[in-house]
Chains A and B, each alone.
Chain A
């Protein structure tokens, strides 16, 4: 099975940088996903890491350490529209989601 842990809530200021951490314990690990979900909407794909290291995509970057069972999502130059829930998901036979981190960006 899989166990995914991430903080419940985070708050940051517009223009700042925020890092959302995720730890996982999983069998048959096949990569780690990050999704963004606004209230009442379906998740949208942000990133996928299967190898160790940092993947950068615009303002968003994601890091994976398989030996530590650890990942983080880094959001730079925060904007108000980045206020959302960020879901960490481990991939094996299917995706297993963490509880999500509700990020609030303040002006």
Chain B
């Protein structure tokens, strides 16, 4: 199956700093990628939909100035958590659907962010 690579898998940062997470589709093109956040023992919550070449669409309650999303190419989307705070500590996961119309959404490995 298709592969989505997410990097880094784990990151620890100081409060007030920014962290960038990359999501790459390795063997297919994706005009749309999705960013999720998952707190312990909870389900995946969609944060935003990343569209190649245009602005991301954010879900209600997600601050677009805090979670910056850039989808510069058909194979790369980045999420930057700006001015991170301890409450931003979470598991962030990206997913992508194949441009050719596949029904399956492929997930990256996830990024465990800890803000200290």
Contacts and interface: CB of A to CB of B under 8 A. Distances in A.
Contacts of B107: 42-44
Interface residues of A, number: 21
Interface string B78-100: 00000000000001010100000
A24 interface: no
A96 B110 contact: no
A16 interface: no
Interface stretch (A57-65, A67-75, A97-105): A97-105
A9 B41 CA distance: 11
Interface residues of B, number: 22
A87 B41 CA distance: 12
A95 B105 contact: yes
B54 interface: no
| Top 9 A-B residue pairs of the complex, sorted by shortest distance between their CB atoms | A42-B107, A42-B110, A99-B43, A97-B43, A97-B44, A100-B43, A48-B103, A42-B93, A42-B109
B43 A31 contact: no
Nearest to A96: B46
Given A31-B103, A33-B105, A40 B43 contact: no
Q: Is the interface of B mostly helix, strand, loop or mixed?
A: strand
Contacts of A95: 34, 46, 95, 105
Contacts of B105: 33, 45, 95
Contacts of A44: 107
A17 B102 CA distance: 30
A97 B107 CA distance: 13
Given A31-B103, A95-B34, A45 B108 contact: no
A85 B110 CA distance: 16
Nearest to B34: A94
A41 B109 contact: yes
Interface string B3-15: 0001000000000
A87 B109 contact: no
18 contacts: A33-B105, A40-B91, A42-B108, A42-B109, A43-B107, A45-B1, A45-B105, A48-B103, A87-B43, A91-B103, A94-B34, A95-B46, A95-B95, A96-B46, A97-B44, A97-B45, A99-B42, A100-B43
